[in-house]
Amino acid sequence: MKGTVVATWIKTCKKLYGEEMVEQALEKVGWQTPKIFSPIENVEDERVKQFILHLAEKSKTPPSDLWHLIGKDNILAFHAAFPSFFKHHTMYSFLKSLFDIHVVMTKKFEGAKPPLVSITPVSKTEALFTYQSPRGMFDYFYGLLDGCMSFFNEKVTITEVEKRQDYLCVKLGFPQPIYEEKKYFFNRLLSLGFIKSIPLKNALFVFVTSTLAFLWPLGPAHWLQAIEMGLISAFLTSLSTYLLLKPYHFIKMELQRLINKDYLYDSGLHSDDLFETLHNLITSYKKGLQSDFVGFKGITDEMDTFVQEIQGISDNMLGTSEEISNVVEQVAVGAISQAENTNEAANVLNENINILRDIVKTEDINKKDLALAMSKINNSYESVNRSSQNISNTLSNFTAINQKSEQLHQKANNITNIVGMVSSIAEQTNLLALNASIEAARAGEEGRGFAVVAEAIRKLAEQSKVAVNDINSNLDQFLEEINSFVKLLQKEYYSLESETQSFDLVKSISFEANEAIQKVSKSMIETIVALKNDADDISKAFINVQSLAAIAEENSASSEEVSANVTKYTTEINKLIYNIQDFQSLTDYFKKELSNYKS
């Protein structure tokens, strides 16, 4: 399928459904947009059908109706492209010229395979129109007929006669007469169904009439003579007619030369009758046509020169437009890249500003926390100082306790000495009681009472001894515990004394750290304030960067628009080149056709 037809279909589809939907369908079948179809380009039938199916699906139109609409509108499109083909008074005369139009298009576009169409009148107002194509496309054919009726403003009835896979025959009923047939009875009668020669027809007529004319006066008895005379008359008539018609053969030869497009020879005919008149008319026609050929050839040469000049101009324009397109494309790419980089920088700067603001906000909170921490540190230092004083006081108290423990140890030793004395007294008492008992025994009855007392004293002495032993034992244990306590107390005292020294060092360090922290805190607060000011300055810079980004985007959009215009301009130049090439093909074709006329 040739590109010129497909381009017309695409143009019709864009008019019916808009460019966006058509371009989507074109991309669906693998055609890049905008797609330019060269008139001599061969387009695959299957891709065209797939395009129509996608477009029908998107437009929610049955494919058969879509083909019908395309066919109907294509009449107007073909008229715009080839107006000379439509210079007919009736639809019938246009349909009759379709076969010749397809022949011209086949010669013009090599490889074109238009459908075979023919129209044959069958009555005064009816004709059989046949359409034969391996593509089928009968819905498109019916659309073309509807378009023809609208274009020529004729109401034509359409009756389907026969339909096969690649063949369609319809009967068309026209509102005005399309066919006129003349029948000449006398000529057909003399032909007897097979005689084509006019001399023979004249001879036959003269033979019959002469024989009858001679037979009437001679009578039936002389029929043979009448026939002989009729034959002689027929022969003479045939001979004279043949001789009179000899210019006809010359004129026929001239007409054959015209059919063969041979205008090399001039000729003359002198017969002093209608044949000379006919020849003069043919000669006048040849001279007029030869004169037209001279003009046509001059026009074709001028057209060829014009095409070459336009081709050179268009080539220069195309080269210039391509250079401009490359420059604009580079500028557009640079503008787009600049816009993207500026936007990216603005976004990064915005993110950094947000982060910086978050940091400032966080640091403001930290500043408050830092002030609170400083207050706590000061309180902590004061607590440490108070604790140090308390420890010093405790250490002093420990010193007093240590002295008291030594005094207690001394008193415990004194008690031990006293218990030793009590133990000695108890032994002496026991010994005394024992002596008293001995003396009481010596006294007898008089000393019995004293013996009882002595026994009681002895028992008391023994009990005292036991008690003294218990006291001594407990006192020894107590002394050991007192000694342990004193040692432990002394140990804790020395430890507390050492810790007090360490605590004094910590207090000194804490004081120095407190002063350092106060300095750092003050520096951090000053840094936070400066950071906040910097954030405000960067925010102002971000506004400027945003303005630059907006300008870069505007430049990018302008560059893209310019690039699109240059691309469109280049596309139009390509279209111009295609049209020039098409015009060149037409010129070559016209020159080739003119070269067939020998003059």
Which pLDDT value is given to residue 211?
A: 87
The structure's pTM equals 0.47
pLDDT recorded at residue 441:
72
Output the six-digit token pair for 374.
Answer: 């400083």
CB 464 within 8 A of CB 422: yes
User: pLDDT tens-digit profile of 37-56?
Assistant: 766 677 787 888 888 888 88
The b/e string for 59-90 (b: 16+ C-beta within 10 A; e otherwise) is bebeeeebbbbbbbbbbbbbeeeeeebbeeee
**Could you read off the pLDDT of 20-42 as tens digits, one per residue?**
888 888 888 888 777 777 666 77
Q: What's the pLDDT score for residue 397?
A: 64
The pLDDT score that the predictor gives to residue 9 is 79
Please state the three-class secondary structure of 20-37 as a single string. HHHHHHHHHCCCCCCCCC
- For residue range 535-553, list pLDDT tens digits in order: 676 666 667 666 666 666 6
| DSSP classification of residue 114 | P
More confident residue, 365 or 98: 98
Tell me what pLDDT residue 395 has.
Answer: 58
Name residue 157's beta-bridge partners. Answer: 173
Tokens of 149: 């009726």
Half-sphere exposure of 42 (CA within 13 A, CB side): 5
Q: What is the pLDDT of residues 9-18, one digit of tens each?
A: 788 888 888 8
Strand order in the sheet with 157-163: 116-121, 126-132, 167-173, 157-163
Looking at residue 58, what is its pLDDT?
A: 86
Cβ contact 307:580 at 8 Å: yes
CA distance 215 to 222: 7
Phi, psi of 265 (to 5 degrees): -110, 140
pLDDT-based confidence at residue 222 (cuts at 50, 70, 90): confident
The pLDDT score that the predictor gives to residue 189 is 87
Look at 295 and 473; give whichever has higher pLDDT. 473
How much is the pLDDT for 171?
94
pLDDT at 431: 73
DSSP tally for the chain: helices H, then strands E: 12, 4
- CA distance linking residue 52 with residue 142, whole number of Å: 17
* pLDDT given at position 461: 66
Q: Which residues of 549-583 are buried (b: 16+ CB within 10 A; e: fewer)?
A: beebbebbeebbebbeebeeebeebbebbbebbbe
Rounded Cα gap, residues 433 and 431, in angstroms: 5
Helical (H) or strand (E) element with 93: helix 91-108
The string of pLDDT tens digits covering residues 399-423 is 666 666 667 667 767 777 776 676 6
Mean pLDDT estimate for the chain:
75
Question: Which domains are seen in the chain, by residue range?
Answer: 1-61 (no CATH), 88-181 (3.90.1520.10), 185-295 (no CATH), 314-589 (1.10.287.950)
Smallest CA-to-CA distance from 597 within 261, 256, 297 is with: 261
Sorted by sequence, the CB contacts under 8 Å of residue 436 that are 6+ apart come out as 450, 451, 453, 454, 457
598 pLDDT higher than 60: no
pLDDT at 192: 86
Range of 257-271, 453-467, 518-532, 559-573 with top mean pLDDT: 257-271
Whether residue 25 contacts residue 63, with contact meaning beta carbons closer than 8 Å, is answered with no
**SS3 at position 154:** coil
Q: pLDDT value at position 155?
A: 92
